[in-house]
Amino acid sequence: MSTKGVLLQHVDNKPLREKILDTLREAIVSGDFKPGHPLLENDLAAQLGVSRAPLREAFQILASEGLVETIPYKGTIVRHLSRQDIEELYTLRCVLEQFAIRRVIAAGHIEDVATLRGIYEEMLAAAVQGNLKAVNEIDRHFHDTLIALSQHHLLTETWSTVTLRVRQVMALRNRRNSDLTQIAYNHVPIIEAVARGSESEAMDLIEKHVVTSLDLIVELWDDGAEASTEETAP
């Protein structure tokens, strides 16, 4: 007989490398670990209370994601972010998002639009409350959802590594965007273009959306000292 009705949480038996990975990834994309920051294996292992083996396995994954850089026999550091890196990040992001939208429009599921509208409502609510952090999270969620709706796993995977680094850039950015409701409003034309199925219009809007964010960041990006951790807005 099985233990009916009683529902229990799964005990957490993820391998250490995955827990370590989550921890380090968060530290990097949140800007806690700044570009150039050395990741010493002994120190980190001691700090996290693990041995170096799973730590090193996590390093390989972080390196594949482009978050860190390992030079053999020298060490691993958080990757530097040049102006060019950021431009590449945003231009590729744009291409991926445009591709996703084309697929969403082509699929033509009306409920997709409803999903996006729902997220927009949340974002607007958070914006009028002046909750910057929430707006940021919901904005990320909006774009992640757009990608997910494309029903393209490979795209989704590629997207997730790109956005990780975009998050990092935003966390390191040295100025804060203020007009939260405007950020929310910006999403309306995109949703409506998808709703109407007007592909070329949606393409232009995404491009503008992304290029604007890029300009805001690159404008005053200091290639030498990528730093200053404040909450910033998309």
For the chain, report the end-to-end CA distance as a whole number of angstroms.
Answer: 53
DSSP-derived secondary structure letter, 11: P
Tokens of 10: 């799964």
Between residues 161 and 182, which has the closer beta carbon with respect to its own copies? 161
- CA 104 – CA 101 distance, rounded (Å): 5
* Contact partner, 38, from DNA, its own copies, none, Cβ < 5-8 Å per class: DNA
Query: DSSP 3-state helix, strand, coil percentages of the chain (rounded to 5)?
Result: 65, 5, 30
Cα separation of 25 and 36, whole Å? Answer: 15
> How far is 166 from 51, CA to CA, in rounded Å?
31
Residues that bind its own copies (CB under 8 A): 13-15, 17-18, 53, 56-58, 60-61, 63-66, 72-73, 84-85, 88-89, 91-92, 95-96, 99, 152-155, 157-158, 162
**Which runs of consecutive H residues, i.e. helices, occur in 65-131?**
83-107, 110-128
CB of 26 to its own copies, least distance (A): 18
- The reply to whether 13 sits near DNA by the rule CB under 7 A is yes
Please choose which of DNA, its own copies, none residue 189 contacts, taking the beta carbon within 5 to 8 angstroms, the exact cut-off set by kind: none
Nearer to DNA, 71 or 110 (CB): 71
Shortest Å distance, C-beta 233 to its own copies: 24
Of 22, 32, 40, 157, the one binding DNA by CB under 7 A: 40
Which 60-89 residues touch DNA, going by CB under 7 A? 70, 72-76
* Least distance CB 29 / DNA (angstroms): 21
C-beta of residue 78 within 8 angstroms of C-beta of residue 26: no
Report whether 162 contacts 226 (CB < 8 A): no
Q: What is the closest distance, in whole angstroms, from the C-beta atom of residue 67 to its own copies in the complex?
A: 11
Q: Using CB under 7 A as the criterion, which residues of the chain lie in contact with DNA when the complex forms?
A: 1-2, 13, 15-17, 38-42, 49-54, 56-57, 70, 72-76
